[in-house]
Amino acid sequence: MSAQSFVMKALWCTSVLLSLWLSTHKAEADSLVADLSENTIAITSNFTGKNLVLFGAIDRSTTLSTGNLNEQASRDVIVVISGPNNQTPITVRHKKRVGGIWVNTNSILFTGVPDYHFVASSRNFDDIASDEIFRRNEIRPQNIKIKSVDIELDEETLNTYRNAIIRNKSRDKLFYEKQGGVEFLDETLFRANVEIPAHISVGIYNTKVFLVSDGRVISVQSKSLYINKTGFERSIYEFAYDSPFFYGLLAVVFALFAGWMASLVFHQD
Amino acid sequence: MQIYLPIAELSVNIFLLLGMGGAVGFLSGMFGVGGGFLMTPLLIFVGIPPAVAVATEANQIVASSVSGVLAYWKRKSVDFKMGTVLLAGGVFGAFVGVYIFRLLREIGQIDLIISLCYVAFLGVVGSLMLSESAKTIRRSRAGLPGPRRKTRHHNWIHGLPLRMRFPRSRLYISCIPPLVLGFMVGILAAIMGVGGGFIMVPAMIYLLRMPTSVVVGTSLFQIIFVTAVTTILHATTNHTVDFVLALLLLLGGVIGAQFGVRAGQRLKGEELRALLALLVLAVCLRLGVDLVSTPIDLYSLDEVIDK
């Protein structure tokens, strides 16, 4: 508990420093600064997911100086974390009842499906901007440009399958939408809690923070988030993929040894 | 306490895995079976991907068969010559089985085929065992002697060419039936993640007419090699052997088996068989229900296997 409050205090201080820094560097400053509480997540043997805090500040004076904006204009922040970058295609399979048993019948191969897609916004999406803006920036799960390799399929079938991807991923908390998940602490400071589930893939993820005002994106900030396996888990994973034959051989030798040990210990007759 | 499994890529409670290893080890010690046919479905029930469950279980069976065979070896109840012929067929079967496994995985039918294989084999073996043990129990309660096994009767198998002498089993038969039997069980071992003892043992007794005393030891002996080859093949073609998972199951299994052996000595053979039959049928039923009940989503996502 105390560790958590310490983190919160640290974040708060950083945020205050950020806003101070913003206010003193008006001329060359971005209108938005944000960062995650951790930029690297290590998957270790006791990894059960992780809660990150994204925090940041917007500079109202800069947004004002860009021209069209006035003091009353709405300011919204949207946080998107998506990835990993090296996406492998996925197959979506459709089950049908065949003789009483559920069998995978049709399947379609899709590319461009992120393994994980998190989005949080400061208000309801409908109040922030139009669908067009979300589509262009691939903000919500349904805005992700998921493409099929097969070009002969009709749009209706593709949409059924696309929706199935979103539904499955959402059920596993891998696609996650948090309307109102970005919280403004005052006029300029904001924060968002990001839940990284335990079954996340390793790789480089892209964090994007959008500043939206009057339905227009006026600033975007990008950062990378690294998720890696470390230690023993990493060694095993790499060993299994880099030299699978020796990995298998070692597993067998170990099992032979373990079996022999067990009989030594327990069957002394 | 959760532990992250590096190949299965999910985190599972460590005590659940140890407990499962212990429970299946207990049962395998009690009934004298390998336990693969119980462990693989259990792993699938707790959410381990079937492909990982099958390959990892093959790895665990290597260990449990080694400790089993050593005990039989001391009692000189292993027919190494017969075992070698069986495993020659078995290793070849494992190659074919892993190839079929990969093919089925690519077309998205592996989960279904694993379940279907289990339902079919467990159903048949479980019902046969139950009816046989029920008969024996009824007969012994009525005070009648058990049925005399027909021995040394010549069947069609004894007419085949390429005969070999198996002194330990006191047999002079063609090497084709054991080769074919080994081959078939090898395929099953690779697809189902089992040692195949539950098919091999009855086949050795009823088809090959081997003496009961050497059957289990010989079966375990050849299982070591077939599952070892299966493990390496799964590791190289499918990358599905989870070393951490195997380690935990092994640990629980070794300990559980010791208690199981002691518990088993207090029960009569036919009672043990009846209990095992009920257990086998329960697993079969559960898998069967999963096949026919409507899944939560008719669409599922599947990662494309790297070529």
Q: Which of B60, B236, B247 sits opposite A248 (nearest CB)?
A: B236
Residue B6 has a pLDDT of: 87
Q: Is the confidence at residue B37, as pLDDT, over 60?
A: yes
> Residues near B27 by Cβ (< 8 Å), separated by ≥ 6?
B33, B35, B38, B256, B260, B276, B279
Does the beta-carbon distance from A102 to B300 stay under 8 Å?
A: no
Candidates A105, A97, A130; CA nearest to A217 is: A130
B224–chain A Cβ distance below 8 A for any pair: yes
Residue B307 has a pLDDT of: 43
Task: Tell the burial category of B256 from Cβ atoms under 10 Å away from its Cβ (0-12, 13-18, 19+).
Answer: buried
Contact list in B for residue A256 (CB cut-off 8 A) is 62-63, 66, 224, 228
Domain assignment of residue B171, given as a range: 12-142+157-292
Domain membership of residue B49 (yes or no) is yes
Structurally, how many domains does chain B consist of? Answer: 1
Candidates B216, B215, B227; CA nearest to B186 is: B227
Does the beta-carbon distance from B291 to A102 stay under 8 Å?
A: yes
How far from B298 is each of A93, A147, A160, A232, B149, CA to CA, in Å?
8, 21, 11, 37, 51
Does the beta-carbon distance from B59 to A252 stay under 8 Å?
A: yes
Report how far Cα B250 is from the mean position of its chain's Cα atoms. 15
Candidates B2, B5, B1; CA nearest to B244 is: B5
Q: Is the confidence at residue B98, as pLDDT, over 70?
A: yes
ipTM: 0.86
Domain membership of residue B2 (yes or no) is no
Of A12-21, B48-57, B297-306, highest mean pLDDT: B48-57
Domain membership of residue B212 (yes or no) is yes
Which of B11-15, B79-83, B198-202, B293-297 has the weakest average pLDDT? B198-202
In percent, the amount of chain B with pLDDT more than 90 equals 38
| Ordered DSSP codes for B75-138 | TT---HHHHHHHHHHHHHHHHHHHHHHHHHHHTT-HHHHHHHHHHHHHHHHHHHHHHHHHHHHH
Closest residue, chain A, to B61 (C-alpha): A255
A90–chain B Cβ distance below 8 A for any pair: yes
Domain membership of residue B1 (yes or no) is no
Q: Is the confidence at residue A26, as pLDDT, over 50?
A: no
Residue A230 has a pLDDT of: 83
Q: How far is B111 from chain A (nearest CA, A)?
A: 10
pLDDT confidence band for A249 (50 / 70 / 90): very high
Domain membership of residue B300 (yes or no) is no
Q: Is the confidence at residue A1, as pLDDT, over 50?
A: no
Asked if residue A37 lies in contact with residue A193, where contact means CB atoms within 8 angstroms, the answer is: no
Closest residue, chain A, to B56 (C-alpha): A251
pLDDT confidence band for B146 (50 / 70 / 90): low
Domain membership of residue B72 (yes or no) is yes
Cross-strand pairs, A77? A211
Q: Which of A43, A104, A199 sits opposite B112 (nearest CB)?
A: A104
Q: What is the dihedral of CA B278, B282, B285, B291, to 10 degrees?
A: -150
Domain membership of residue B303 (yes or no) is no
Compute the distance between CA of residue A60 and CA of residue A63 in angstroms, rounded to an integer. 5
Which positions 97-156 of B are in contact with A (Cβ < 8 Å)?
Answer: 108-109, 112, 116
Which positions 146-175 of A are in contact with B (Cβ < 8 Å)?
Answer: 161, 164-165, 167-169, 171
Q: Is the confidence at residue A25, as pLDDT, over 50?
A: no
Does the beta-carbon distance from B299 to A248 stay under 8 Å?
A: no
Contact list in A for residue B233 (CB cut-off 8 A) is 248
pLDDT confidence band for A6 (50 / 70 / 90): low
Structure tokens that stand for B158 in this block: 């004894």
B66–chain A Cβ distance below 8 A for any pair: yes
Does the beta-carbon distance from A93 to B300 stay under 8 Å?
A: yes
Cross-strand pairs, A192? A54, A182
Tell me the CATH architecture of domain A2-229. Sandwich (2.60)
Q: How far is A266 from chain B (nearest CA, A)?
A: 7
Q: Is the confidence at residue A24, as pLDDT, over 60?
A: no
Q: Is the confidence at residue B274, as pLDDT, over 50?
A: yes
Does the beta-carbon distance from A259 to B67 stay under 8 Å?
A: yes
A3–chain B Cβ distance below 8 A for any pair: no
Does the beta-carbon distance from B63 to A259 stay under 8 Å?
A: yes
Domain ranges of chain A: 2-229, 230-269
Q: Model confidence over A65-80: pLDDT tens digits? A: 555 555 566 789 999 9
Report how far Cα B216 is from the mean position of its chain's Cα atoms. 12
B65–chain A Cβ distance below 8 A for any pair: yes
Domain membership of residue B4 (yes or no) is no
In percent, the amount of chain A with pLDDT more than 90 equals 50
Q: Is the confidence at residue A93, as pLDDT, over 90?
A: yes
